[in-house]
Amino acid sequence: MKPIRLRDFIEDTDGRIYAVAAYDNTERVGCILRYVPDDNGERTGPEGTKYKKMDFEDAFAYLAEHKPEYLDTVHRIPHTDIARVIKPEEEILHVAATNEQVMQLLPVFNVSIEKIGCTGSLLCGLGNESSDIDMVVYGSAWFTAQENLKRSVEAGEVSGLSEEMWQKVYTKRVPEIDYETFLAHEKRKWNRGEIEGTYFDLLYTRSYEQIGSAGVPKGKVCGKATIEATVTDSSLAFDNPAVYFVDHEEISRVLSFTHTYSGQALKGEVIEATGVVEEHGDTKWLIVGTTREAKGEYIISKTLMESL
């Protein structure tokens, strides 16, 4: 059996559906509750079961009442309570066969079929007319998909985001940086677009060969800090958490747990970052996204902003 990894979905023995939010799933699976069976729910599954979609805060409140033993920094489900694992790369052909826009995106990204999937509500059979498309590509193939998406947008084969959609994304993210700074960083990431009016994301997940060392232990908190540092390795900058290895006298890496600051800087660029310092052995990490909306925390590429 393949390991459970980030962006898979699981269903527990009570029929609740969770999005996997971690790689370190050996003992218990780290995830976030997304759908709960509910006779009055607004989503209907393939078998006719109705579900209620849970937002982040409601999911924690629901489990506090019904399954408090699952509560942690994320929701942690014992393997004995898992009835089903739903893997994006195993279901991609089925999802594409039932969604024309997903089918159209496959040749845009143009990677091996075993390296691509569709996650989110479409993977679970719970999509509706307002659902976004959450495409996921694994390991180094992601960078091929990113380059192919860039080429397709520049050729006019796929639409980039409209100004209205960029404003919507900015409002949803509520970042600590202004709109112009946000847009400058986002437009060079080439990890989102629109197809026939539907928004889609291009999400990164590690390959199975990469996930062995992907756990992120909690370190000793040493307070907040703002640093400037040069990025020495950005190969995991689109992961969750995003990881930037840096050249700095105190901090060895900057991690972002919020999607807003994934892919924010390239190797060789100087970043400015504010977050919480954690001690990890004989080194320290700067953590961005220690709260849901990362209040007071951010990452910007000073190199990018100075080039504009």
Tokens of 197: 């009016």
Closest C-alpha to 194, from 169, 163, 158, 170: 158
- pLDDT score at 41: 96
Nearest to 89 by CA among 8, 163, 157, 177: 8
- For the entire predicted model, the pTM comes to 0.94
Range(s) within the chain of domains with CATH label 2.40.50.140: 219-307
Q: Which two tokens stand for residue 254?
A: 């900057």
pLDDT at position 214 is 66
Strand runs labelled E in the chain:
9-12, 17-20, 28-37, 43-44, 50-53, 75-78, 82-86, 116-119, 133-138, 192-195, 198-205, 220-236, 242-247, 251-256, 270-280, 283-288, 298-301
Tens-binned pLDDT, residue by residue, of the chain (308 aa)? 899 999 999 999 999 999 999 999 999 999 999 999 999 999 999 999 999 999 999 999 999 999 999 999 899 999 999 999 999 999 999 999 999 999 999 999 999 999 999 999 999 999 998 899 999 999 999 999 999 999 999 999 999 999 999 999 999 988 999 999 999 999 999 999 999 999 999 999 999 999 876 677 889 999 999 999 999 999 999 999 999 999 999 999 999 999 999 999 999 999 999 999 999 999 999 999 988 788 999 999 999 999 99
pLDDT at position 230, please?
98
Q: Which residues lie below 8 Å from residue 230, measured CB to CB, with a gap of 6+?
A: 246, 247, 248, 268, 269, 270, 271
260: Cβ–Cβ under 8 A, 6 or more apart, which residues? 173, 175, 182, 289, 294
Angle 94-84-292 (CA atoms, 0-180°, nearest 5)? 90
What top-level class would CATH report for the domain 219-307? Answer: mainly beta
Q: What pLDDT is stored for residue 217 in this prediction?
A: 80
